[in-house]
Structure formats: C-alpha cells, structure tokens
A and B are shown apart, each in its own frame.
Chain A
Amino acid sequence: MARPEGCALVTGASRGIGAAIAKALAGDGWPVAVNYRSDGEGAAAVVAGVEEAGGRAVAMAGDVAAPGAPDALFAGAEEHFGVPVLALVNNAGIAADDLISMLDDEAWQRVLDTNLTGAFRLTRRALKPMMRARFGRIVNISSVVGLRANPGQANYAAAKAGLIAMTKTVTVEVARRGITANAVAPGWIDTDMTAGVDSDLLSNVPARRAGTPAEVAACVTFLASDAAAYVNGAVLSVDGGLAA
C-alpha cells in the first residue's frame, strides 16, 4: 500500500545526524520540516541542499523541550506543506556529561527534558494525524549508550534507554492503526557532538572506524518507507558492532 500524502518532521536537523536524515527523507520523496533550536544558518543550509537536489523542505525554529513546541511545529509544517505530518523523527538531543557523583540535578533534568520528554510530547501530538490517516512512521534516535553502559553519561543513557522503552510502548498501543514506531541506536558517529571525544575509543568499535551521519540516515529512511511497514518496535543498531 502506498503511503498517504504527508510530510516528515525531523527535530534537531540543522546539522549532524539530523541534517543527514532530513536530506535522506527528502531524497525519498518526503517534504521535510527541518527543526532547529538555535542554528538557523545550519537549518537554512539543509533546506538549500534539499531544494538543490529537487526536494522540498522548510526550516522551523523551536526548542523541543518547550511544552508548546509540538503544536507549533506540527501546525507550521502542516500549513507549509498542506498535508499532515505522517513521519516524525525524534532526533534532537543534547549531552551534559559527568560522572554520576558529580552530575547535578540541572544537568540531569535538562538532558531528560530535551532527549526524552520532548520526544514524548511530539509523539503524543503526532499520533493524532497518524491515527486519522491509518498510517504513521515514528523513528526515535536512541543511542548505543541506551543499550550498553558508558561512564559519564547517566543522564544521556537514561534518556536514550527511555526512548527505546517508549518506542516499544507506542508500537503496542497503535500498531493496529498502521503506525510503526522504531528506534535507531547509533554508536560512534562523526559529528560535532563526538568531535571532542578521545579517538582511541575507536579501538573498542569492532568495525574500527566511526560511522557517518549518512549511514544512520539510510536506516531511518528505510524505517520510514513502505518497505518497513511490518518492522515495529525494533531497535536498529548502527554502531559498527559496538553493542554486539
């Protein structure tokens, strides 16, 4: 069954993995809302790249940690493209690393607010048009640290593991409406976020190299496609074998 007409919303899409996902989805025919919090220039560059390649995209500002963000983002995307949001990629994420003994409440809460609560509120909002359409694709960008411990990332890991549990719950609640929810768990991917990390750690990666944002984006595009209609509640590791 061909998917009904809809657009995609990718959060945190001004750079890194999110930008690659936005470009890949646009390349697969989705009109894409490119959400960003502060990097308007990056988002504009993503939109320009999509348009140069013949796709459709619009940049949309909004902090996913803000309670009002989902309504604003969905209304904006639906108004711009004239179709409902039928693919949601919860990618926006921040890190505030410290050993748990030193991790303060503010850093804990800030990471949970953006990485988990923001995804919850967006998912809740997304289910309205998806249930009506009897079609929906939700892809949550988790992390290898949601599956395997990494010192210094208790807050990030808790949020990313929480995303996996939420993904599975969404699946069992709404799968019968033609909606899929899956998680992608990237490992070490070359982005601004991992730029300062000691590259000696790469020796722990079975593939002995970092991944690229495009390699994550390819998996997201698959999960959003018609071909993945029966893939639901899955966690797809994209980590060169790190979680194996």
Chain B
Amino acid sequence: MSVTTEQVESRVVETLASFGPDASTITRDATFEELDIDSLDLVELAQVVEDDYGVILKGEDMKELKTVGQAIDLIVSRAE
C-alpha cells in the first residue's frame, strides 16, 4: 500500500487533535510534551495507524518519538 506523507500527516494531526491540542499547534516540530500528548494518547495513535495503514508500532518505537514529524516519518517509512 502506498501512502503519501501528506496523507499520513493529515491523519496524524486529526488524531492528535482529538486528544485535546488545537490543530494549529500540531506542527512537525512540535513535541508531544509541548502538546500534552501522553503515552496513552500515543498508544491510541498507534492503533489508528495500525487500522489505517497496517503499520504496527511497538512500545519501543513509540518511546523514541519526541516530535510529530518523527512520528509521521516513521509511519511513512514503515508503510512503504
């Protein structure tokens, strides 16, 4: 399945926004800490990614992620 970075970015921003932060603050450089996105939010994001793109993100993958951009890049690279 081929997905574009734009598609993943849009889905990630939409999902993260559903956890509370304003969509305008969810930039590639924003950190999850700044956005007040916690580990449970990331677990839920991983479920969305698995359902939509078939990409399985494990706990160790998520622990490495600090910014929104890192998450998007990881998902895109795994989906290819």
Q: Which of A128, A132, A176 contacts B40 (CB 8 A)?
A: A176
Give the A interface residue count (CB, 8 A). 7
| B44 interface residue per 8 A CB criterion | yes
| B47 interface residue per 8 A CB criterion | yes
Distance in Å: Cβ of B30 to nearest Cβ of chain A: 21
| A168 interface residue per 8 A CB criterion | no
Whether B47 lies near A174 (C-beta < 8 A) is: no
By a CB distance below 8 angstroms, the chain A residues around B43 are 131
| Bound Cα distance from A173 to B42, whole angstroms | 13
By a CB distance below 8 angstroms, the chain A residues around B47 are 128, 131-132
Interface of A, secondary structure class, is helix
| A177 interface residue per 8 A CB criterion | yes
* Nearest-CB residue, chain B, relative to A177: B40
By a CB distance below 8 angstroms, the chain A residues around B44 are 131-132
Distance in Å: Cβ of B37 to nearest Cβ of chain A: 13
| Bound Cα distance from A176 to B44, whole angstroms | 13
Tell me which residues from 148 to 206 in chain A have a Cβ below 8 Å from any Cβ of chain B.
Answer: 173-174, 176-177
| Bound Cα distance from A168 to B68, whole angstroms | 31
| Bound Cα distance from A174 to B43, whole angstroms | 11
By a CB distance below 8 angstroms, the chain B residues around A131 are 40, 43-44, 47
| Bound Cα distance from A177 to B20, whole angstroms | 13
Tell me which residues from 191 to 239 in chain A have a Cβ below 8 Å from any Cβ of chain B.
Answer: none
By a CB distance below 8 angstroms, the chain B residues around A128 are 47
Distance in Å: Cβ of B11 to nearest Cβ of chain A: 15
Distance in Å: Cβ of A129 to nearest Cβ of chain B: 10
By a CB distance below 8 angstroms, the chain B residues around A177 are 40
Distance in Å: Cβ of B59 to nearest Cβ of chain A: 12
Interface residues of B (CB under 8 A from A): 40, 43-44, 47
A–B complex contacts, Cβ < 8 Å, 11 sampled: A128-B47, A131-B40, A131-B43, A131-B44, A131-B47, A132-B44, A132-B47, A173-B40, A174-B40, A176-B40, A177-B40
Known: A131-B40, A131-B43. 9 other contacts (CB 8 A): A128-B47, A131-B44, A131-B47, A132-B44, A132-B47, A173-B40, A174-B40, A176-B40, A177-B40
